[in-house]
Amino acid sequence: MRPPYTIREYDPFRDAKNQAGEKLTPQDLKSLDDIRKKSAAPNKDGTASPVFSRRRDGALTASNYVGVLATPRETVIEILPKIDFGDQDDAGHQETKKYFLKMLRSYRGLRHAAQLPESRIGEMRRFPMLEVFIRQFLENLQVLARGGLARRYVSVEENLPHLRGRILFRDHIRRNLTNQARFFVAHDELSANRPANRLIHKALAMLRPQVQSGENRQLLRELSAAFADVPKTANPHADWRKHRVDRSMRHYGPVMQWVGLFLFRHGLTTFAGRHANLSLLFPMQEIFEDFVTHSFRRYQNQYAVAAQGPQKYLATFKGWDAFKMKPDISLRRGNQVAFILDAKWKRINGRATDRKHNIDQADMYQLYAYGKRYRCKTVALIYPKNESFKDPLQYNFLDDNDSKDLKLLCLPFDVTDAQQSVEKAMKELID
């Protein structure tokens, strides 16, 4: 079995062997370029979320999406976030996987799925990412199967050697005129043939060729046997619209979110089809934003933390509110917003002679508007810590018409030590 091809954000895909001896074929590279083209196409709302990009030298590179995908040739590709470990060498990517899995625990796209216990992350970092995700799905499904598959009564018409339910006389006479030992009847039967179960069976069948771990294969075989009497869905989208996790099916909640991820990429990237057999690519910007929000909630108690709010409007038009503002993170005391924070998964350069330090000007405009509208004295952009950005940067906005100065901080956030990052950030904000 071929090991996965592992790459980090912004590194180029190549058909030459990498450090681990893994190699992509020209067909794999063609499939990845097809994914790039499809994901770069505008959606119905006019936006696009390109998964990959091309550098000036023509090399195809990973962008701001991380996770796993499998090409039509069943080559599994892992894309890992670029995390700075200082002088530590992470050639085997185990530390990167560990912290990526920790960050995923607070990701909004997996909010309803049973999370990988933090105590198991150290163990699971040694496995390929796809096997980790599949194992989490299978363990959730194992819990569901032990609790019993959801069933419902369905009407069944059949020709039986005994009387059951009610006789359908017209069909009974037509079929059994010369065989009075049988009865054509209609009766209700408790069946597991429900949309949710059909979708789960479809997901199991789709994952079977992707699984390489012996433990995962064994668990998948056992669970497939539990669904042997359930047909695989013939129309996944129709069954997804029909399925409901009602009061009697609460134990289906975590499993169905994984089914949505595997079959429909819900909350993830939008591409699908012949270019990839399977994809679980997560937007790193959202993962970082959610992880920073979770960390401020966990490691400081001076301020209440709100995500994507409180919402206000920037302007009015003919008496109607316009241009809604939704800060990534706000720190409040009572009803007063003290600080607005905006998390950006981007590498900036604190040592650069350029005074912009690779900070997007649009982000500065946005934080200025937040500070004025919410009447803050300090706002902050939070970026991942890296070798060229370890210390805070401070900007003071110029405003000749306002005696109150508005300060903007650029704060480094070390994802390997979230507690210390929050403590340092709070000190900078309050000082």
Residue 194 C-beta-side C-alpha neighbours within 13 Å: 17
Nearest-angstrom CA–CA distance, 426 and 294 = 15
Give exposure, 282-318, as e/b (b: 16+ Cβ within 10 Å): bbbebbbbbbbbbbbbeebeebebbbeeeeeeeeeee
User: Within the chain, how many helices (H) and strands (E) appear?
Assistant: 12, 17
Q: Cis (ω within 30 of 0) for the bond into 50?
A: no
CA pair distance 299, 422, nearest whole angstrom: 7
Tell me how far apart the alpha carbons of residues 16 and 21 are, in angstroms, rounded to a whole number: 9
pLDDT values of the chain reduced to their tens digit, one per residue, 431 residues: 567 888 888 888 877 665 555 678 888 888 888 878 777 655 555 555 677 888 888 888 887 788 888 877 778 888 899 888 877 777 778 888 889 988 988 888 777 665 677 777 777 777 788 888 888 889 888 888 888 887 766 666 777 777 776 777 677 777 777 777 787 777 666 677 888 888 989 989 888 888 878 888 899 999 988 888 888 888 888 888 888 776 767 778 888 888 888 887 655 544 444 445 567 888 899 999 999 999 999 999 999 999 988 888 899 898 898 899 899 999 998 888 999 999 999 999 888 788 888 899 999 999 999 999 999 999 999 999 998 999 999 998 887 665 468 899 999 999 999 999 999 999 999 98
**Half-sphere exposure in the Cβ direction for 245 (13 Å, CA):** 14
Q: Are strands 378-384 and 336-343 parallel, antiparallel or unpaired?
A: parallel
Tell me the pTM: 0.80
How far is residue 277's CA from residue 355's CA, in Å, rounded to a whole number? 45
Domain segments of the chain as ranges: 5-143+250-283, 152-191, 300-430
Q: Where are the alpha helices (DSSP H) in 13-128?
A: 26-40, 94-104, 118-124
Q: What are the b/e assignments for 115-126, b being 16+ CB within 10 Å?
A: ebeeeebeebbe
